[in-house]
Amino acid sequence: MDFGNIDRNPIAYLRYGNYCGLGSRGTIPVDETDICCMNHDNCYQNTNCKGLYEGKFNFYSWKFQNNEIICKPSADPCDQANCECDKAFVLCLKKAPYNCKNALRPSNLFC
């Protein structure tokens, strides 16, 4: 997914809050942005598909049309499910404020 559709460099989210980036560092999200990351993690888990943590990448097709992200149909249900998770994540991040105090180094370089 093109995370360029959000207003901040995607690297800024690698170590943000308790849920953004690889691996969780807490049990309670610190803000709306962190909730987006928690929901994204949960979405992947709910697909019951192998993913990055199990060594499998899912490649899916999508397009940006009329200001909307559209996941293209796929024969692989995991590709489709992961695309929908990533789409929801991008849309959530667009609405959620980014609070620099919740960014851990080096992500705070983007504040």
Do residues 65 and 57 lie in contact, with contact meaning Cβ atoms separated by under 8 Å?
A: no
Q: Is 51 annotated as a binding residue?
A: no
Do residues 18 and 30 lie in contact, with contact meaning Cβ atoms separated by under 8 Å?
A: yes
Residue among 7, 40, 76, 79 flagged as catalytic: 40
Q: Is 23 annotated as a binding residue?
A: yes
Based on the residue annotation, tell me whether 40 is a catalytic residue of this protein. yes
Residue among 7, 76, 79, 86 flagged as catalytic: 86
Q: Is 41 annotated as a binding residue?
A: yes
Q: Is 21 annotated as a binding residue?
A: yes
Question: Which residues fall within 8 angstroms of residue 21, CB to CB, at 6 or more apart?
Answer: 13, 14, 15, 37
Do residues 73 and 83 lie in contact, with contact meaning Cβ atoms separated by under 8 Å?
A: no
Based on the residue annotation, tell me whether 31 is a catalytic residue of this protein. no
Do residues 44 and 85 lie in contact, with contact meaning Cβ atoms separated by under 8 Å?
A: yes
Catalytic residues: 40, 86
Residue numbering of the annotated binding site for Ca(2+):
19, 21, 23, 41
Residue numbering of the annotated binding site:
19, 21, 23, 41
